[in-house]
Structure 1
């Protein structure tokens, strides 16, 4: 009986009732029409027999036709009786007031024409709604007519039909209710499955279907559908999990790549190797979360990997103890540095070569990657985790890239330091060469000075050095005279003092300010640069002249093919090149003989042959 409480049942019942009304109405209307036609036909026969009886009695009882009409009307219960003349005038009529009046007042022309045609018969006046029975006893006798209203005839029929229809409709409704109940009992499983499928189509995969009472094919269908939905739910959950895992993996990879990028960008900005490696260790901890990161570098003899940078407290203690691991020794780092390839221990308890470090007791996983740049092993990157199975393939690939970047950064920093040292050495050598050249230049010439008295007037000054200039040279710094108007500043080139400059303001001027002193110092720096450039230019000219001289002498000597002529030409050219110089040339290996040509002055040549050079 729970089915009666469901909206679906009443909806189905209404549909059954609505659909049953159509054939029921058709049947009722058809039966009603058939019965009405039969009643009308029977009633026409009755009315015709009444007209015939009235005509017969009127012939049998002449003079009492009016009384007979009223009597017949009373006997039949309401039918109208009258005799109608050939002119259409009422001769008699059950309604006395109509005697002598024209029948056209009550009948249509067609109906009246049919009645007066003289034929005996039955007439159904549809327009007037009357049944008419016509009978003529003889051709000369008046027309006896009996009429009855159609409503009066069908009223009883309608009452009968209504009396019959009420129990019929009740029986039909009961039959519909029983049929709906039976159909719904069979349709309920299908409705359940349909509703279940509708909810599933809306995305509600968690809805449950009641399979109780489902048997046969319907039960199998429901069971298969439930299993299909469960499998689909599992597939969706699995797919969602895979998507989430993939998103997390992509996010993790993105973070790893960002970490590699940041480490590479950061390490590129460091030139000090210790600071570079220490910063790298902290960056790896920050982005990867490993509790210990150690960076090892090989010592000069390449026998040990020395811990150079770390991030953990245990690692700091190891740094203080100058922790080192032997290349090829029993350790992950030793293996990686000897074989120049990564070594991974996902569970250090099961790894035979893991070094059990008392400063790092929480280590459960460890990985060491060699630091190689341009084919040269520099050290190793060692990372350790407190979890087993801590390293994935992506971690290994990313850290390998990171190790390569660290190796390149280490090599770049080392090359930068070497370059800086080479530049510093070259600068020192060049500075010493420059200072030596200026010392020789200053020693080879007398004191030279210049004084500017008025704008555009410059005089050469060779007098002894003034006290303020001497003090500036002695102190190698700017010196202001006692009145504050005289400023003396030394002139130095690469640390070599070569002179000094004195500036004197008029007596009415203000004393020298710090900005003016800074300006003078800047000008002195520019002046020292210009003087150094002039010296270098002078040396380059001298060098070019010497090279030109050597080239000319070589050309002249090369033009002579005889040995003696070559020697003579060489001695002569050397004598001309060095003014007031005696040039002597002697061949070794001659027994006792000696030939000599002397030219003590320019243009003179001495040629000797002997055993000594």
Structure 2
């Protein structure tokens, strides 16, 4: 269909317009046609429709489908060949029946595999291979043909069964060959393969076939053992790598480290079927490893106790902390006493980050010797992931704490800054009020009109609005005339306003920008002038005080000091009335009371 569709797309119109392009597309369709058929056949025959979660079962399913497909193809070809070229005699009809039964058996085995009945499908194929091998061996006798056909079940068994099953099958086939050789040498029945073979040569031939069959069986058993071990190791590694990825997902989904650690411990226990899992994390002084996560009710009790392990302890956890290597030990509830009575084996995996041992992942199992070398390597990868996730969690919590402190300090700084601004504004306003009062004027103002500058303390509407609202004011007073007023602000407090009247078309944005910049600089200059005047006044007062003090130092009697002080104060401050008293107020009050009583 794909070939026809591509050919139709390169129709006569396409050939008329672009003949070379059409030919190239047609050639591409012809090339794709067999590839697509091969791909579909491969998926149909060798890809199980059922999703097997175990990798070993997935391999067994594909091998069973491959063997069944090859046997079905061979049976179909033989069946069609006999139909096409056979003479339809009784023996051929029997062979056709056997071939059809074999074809149906393979289709049945394939359907079982696709439906998820893997063990039943394997048993069906294996039974078929054994029956065919026995029938052909009985028909052909002891010889090379029987050796080859009997090797087929061994080959299939080495791929899908255990090595012990292959050894058992090899022993059965060796016994079968021995019985067949004995029958053949005694002349109990005549077989097709015995033509030209002397009876006295049958025992030797039987022994040779048995030895070769034994060698093939041993080889297949060894291959089955290594294959099964490799597949189990690969499956174990894949499971542990998946666990590492899922732990990373748990870390991404957990909000805090307190939530993450128990989830990791429970996940490892449930994922691998361990008895007890717990996580220890070292303190800052590297003296103790504190228990931060533990599974089950036993873990809850240990956490309530505040359980911890010293770095120099001699248990599995302490040795892992000291050496930085996985430690495997046989235990019987040593750590928790009566809390972990069923523990039989333990592994302590160090959590290493940046070449530092920061904790231990402790796993206990109810099975003795539950941690072989292959599993230790995989669990070490898992422990590395746990260590990295835990270390990152501690760093994130540290960053969160620092960020919280920074935010708190920032808020406090903002509050202090706001208070400082308010105080500055209040002090600035008070300073200006005192300054204006000292100058005997509430407002200092000037107006430039008709090129004449004159004092003017009145507030125009524009000036008043700009000063009160502390916002620029634009007012049109005629068709081509307008007033622009801006406030004069000093440290967030308004101290005045400035306005100009313009004629003709003006650019308001540029005018406002110039006025606001001028108002800012004017405010600073005015404040500097005020401070300079106050500084001069303070200096003048200091000079006057020093002069008065110098005059007073030259007088030696109290009356003279009193008279001179009043005269100098009157001169310096312009006082119209001044008084001074030197004496005890209590003595004077007592004397007045006595005079009044008398």
TM-score, scaled relative to structure 2: 0.41
- Greater helix content: 2
TM-score, scaled relative to structure 1: 0.40
